[in-house]
Amino acid sequence: MALLQISEPGQSAAPHQHRLAVGIDLGTTNSLVATVRSGSPAVLADENGEPVVPSVVHYGSDASVSVGAKAAALAIVDPLNCISSVKRLMGKSLQETRELTGLVNTLSDSTDESGEMQVPRIVTAGGNVTAVEVSSRILEALKLRAEEALGGELVGAVVTVPAYFDDAQRQATKDSARMAGLHVLRLLNEPTAAAIAYGLDRQMEAEGSIVAIYDLGGGTFDVSLLRMNRGVFEVLATAGDTALGGDDIDREIVDWICSNGEIAASDPSTMRRLLEAAKSAKEQLSSAQTAAIKLNLNDEKTIELELNRTDFEQMIEPLIKRTLAPCRRVLRDAGVDKSEVTAVVMVGGSTRVPLVRQQTGEFFQRDVLTDINPDEVVAIGAAIQADILAGNKPDSDMLLLDVIPLSLGIETMGGLAEKVIQRNTTIPIARAQEFTTYKDGQTAMALHVVQGEREMVSDCRSLARFELRDIPPMVAGKARIQVVFQVDADGLLTVSAIERESGVVASIDVKPSYGLSDNEIETMLRDSMENASDDMQSRKLAEQRVEAERVIEALDAAMQQDADEFLDADEKSQLLSLRSGLQDTIDSGSAAEIKNAVEMLEKGSSEYVERRMNASVRRMMAGQSVNEIEEKLAD
């Protein structure tokens, strides 16, 4: 007789069976993979005991592809075919990629048939490749390491991204994972991953403690405020800079070497050598007062310099100051005072620089916590979350509450940006808002999804456009169009629209081709605050113009239909004069002046409107009893 094995919903039929899942920190400079074994999270190392995989990929002319340490070793002798810091290219346009400093690779100039630039492709001896393809190679290597170490196939992975990655950058990361054959259990913000690892390794002094996660990696900077309360990690606010990190510190040292060594980094091979020397000096100065720099550029010239910590800190101080602006903003956004922050966790290899720790501590007015390995903490936190999502800990009460970094909304008449989901809203989230048609008989509606904090669409970023068709023709304002914004746990957006009476539906997965440029992220938030007063005035003006145009359109339609029936010549002339005055005010007047002109036209047309309504009621009642009329009204 066959036995039927049953289990509780969501639990494995074999309770003893451990499902293999990993956490991956896909970093700008280095990447790691970690898992939970025997209840403890640990980073998985290679056969030589090295836990870090350099985020470098080499493409050979013989179609060979090398990843990690082997590729990094080839970077000096074959720099144009070695791609590093590819994380900075994720979700960016060709123009934005060209503006990135420190890029030694050649970009393809190819365009599609429409003349629009394609997703940027990097030229290599093995063919032109995209940032998504390069990242997938790194993820493939991490997947292979994990499966060899764990002795089985992975059921999934939690992949971390900077908290400030926008929708395009997150989608590009997810596409890379799929290309590598990984099932993505979730995209997880790096600061949240660090909080998970830190929260389990150290106990907060009190429930509801607020922790600042300061994450300065190779290419990105994030700062997040999290409230920890009985297993719930709630992100209160997040901010950052997607183009600031250890790479920028390295380039400052490169500039110093070039200046003091009287050399020019004119070719990619020299630049690679300089960057390696700069990284070595930076690491030395994290523990020593001086760093010896010896660089053999060619057979004729050898550079020998000594960089002391004082000079080093002086050159990088402006970069560290740049990280404090997002720190101020995140406190303001969360409505939290510095004194309420109970701990500051340092994440990312660049936080080993003493000046970073010193200035961060001075800003938050407390000692920063550095006893957790800053390179491994993100991967460990991701592994803990992956273990839970894989179903290995059904009794876990851990809950993650991330937020979206920028507001999401839709364009309305007059070029207004109507925010549907405000920035720093906890995700996953679904919110709906009703809109209506603007003109009589309108059978379609164009929907424009935007992102940003400004009041006018022209000042926001366009995400996607789609159309809702086959709307039943009705009078303006009668149709009920429900627009639903859904942001999933990975921070990816889906927008749908439904006409409530007919049930017609249209939807779109918002997958923009490119992410925000480095300056746009900071500019959008700064401008929203600096221009708040002007924006509100612009919005009021636009709203009054839309209302005025609606009134004029309604009056024109009515007069075309029956003006001769209900108006004498003088009344008609007076209404046309008021209409003309309103039209002139729309073009040149203020919001208050337009509002006043609208009220004058509405007052001047009140008797005309009343006559039309009375005539309509008489036509409706003609030849019918009171009972019949009551039955129709009841229906």
Residues 594-614 pLDDT 10s: 788 778 878 777 777 777 777
pLDDT of residue 536: 64
Answer yes or no: is pLDDT of 379 > 90.
Answer: yes
pLDDT interval class at 140 (50, 70, 90): very high
Q: Which residues, in sequence order, are CB contacts of 39 under 8 Å at separation 6+?
A: none
Cα-based torsion angle of the residue sequence 406, 407, 412, 414 in order, rounded to the nearest 10 degrees: -60
Q: pLDDT higher for 175 or 563?
A: 175
CB 488, CB 436: distance < 8 Å: no
Q: 82-137: per-residue pLDDT in tens?
A: 888 888 888 877 777 776 656 667 777 654 444 344 578 888 888 888 888 999 99
The CATH code of the domain at 404-530 is: 2.60.34.10
Q: Which residues are catalytic?
A: 25, 87, 190, 215
Cα–Cα distance measured from residue 494 to residue 510, given in angstroms and rounded to the nearest whole number: 6
List the domain boundaries for the chain.
21-245+317-402, 246-316, 404-530, 533-621
Beta-sheet strands, E only, within 202-335? 209-216, 221-229, 232-241, 290-296, 302-308
Between CA 495 and CA 502, with CA 498 as vertex, the angle to 5 degrees is 165
Superfamily of domain 246-316 in CATH is ATPase, substrate binding domain, subdomain 4 (3.90.640.10)
Q: 549-599: per-residue pLDDT in tens?
A: 777 777 777 777 777 777 777 777 787 888 887 788 877 777 778 788 778
Mean pLDDT for the stretch of residues 181-197 = 86
Backbone angles phi, psi at 263, to 5 degrees: -130, 165
pLDDT interval class at 522 (50, 70, 90): very low
Mean pLDDT over each residue of the chain, to the nearest integer: 79
Mean pLDDT for the stretch of residues 447-464 = 77
Answer yes or no: is pLDDT of 634 > 60.
Answer: no
Amino acid in position 455: E
Cα–Cα distance measured from residue 529 to residue 525, given in angstroms and rounded to the nearest whole number: 7
Cα–Cα distance measured from residue 152 to residue 599, given in angstroms and rounded to the nearest whole number: 74
pLDDT of residue 539: 64
Mean pLDDT for the stretch of residues 431-446 = 79
Cα–Cα distance measured from residue 361 to residue 344, given in angstroms and rounded to the nearest whole number: 8
The CATH code of the domain at 533-621 is: 1.20.1270.10
Would you list the DSSP string of 424-448?
A: T-EESEEEEEEE--SSTT---EEEE
The CATH code of the domain at 21-245+317-402 is: 3.30.420.40
Please state, for a pLDDT cut of 70, what percent of the chain lies above it. Answer: 80
Q: pLDDT higher for 357 or 629?
A: 357
CB 415, CB 458: distance < 8 Å: yes
Mean pLDDT for the stretch of residues 151-167 = 86
Q: Which residues, in sequence order, are CB contacts of 66 under 8 Å at separation 6+?
A: 57, 58, 60, 74
- Prior bond of 405 cis (ω within 30°): no
Mean pLDDT for the stretch of residues 306-310 = 93
Mapped onto helix, strand or coil, the DSSP state of residue 7 is coil
Q: Which phi-psi region, left, alpha or beta, contains residue 115 (left: φ > 0; alpha: ψ -120 to 50)?
A: left
Answer yes or no: is pLDDT of 622 > 70.
Answer: no
Answer yes or no: is pLDDT of 2 > 50.
Answer: no
pLDDT of residue 201: 39
The closest alpha carbon to 483, from 473, 492, 495, belongs to: 495
Q: Which residues, in sequence order, are CB contacts of 86 under 8 Å at separation 6+?
A: 55, 57, 131, 134, 135, 138
Answer yes or no: is pLDDT of 26 > 90.
Answer: yes
Q: Which residues pair with 416 in a beta bridge?
A: 412, 456
pLDDT of residue 328: 93
Cα–Cα distance measured from residue 53 to residue 149, given in angstroms and rounded to the nearest whole number: 15
Amino acid in position 443: T
Between CA 240 and CA 158, with CA 225 as vertex, the angle to 5 degrees is 75
Least confident of 206-220, 378-392, 516-530: 516-530
Length of the chain: 635
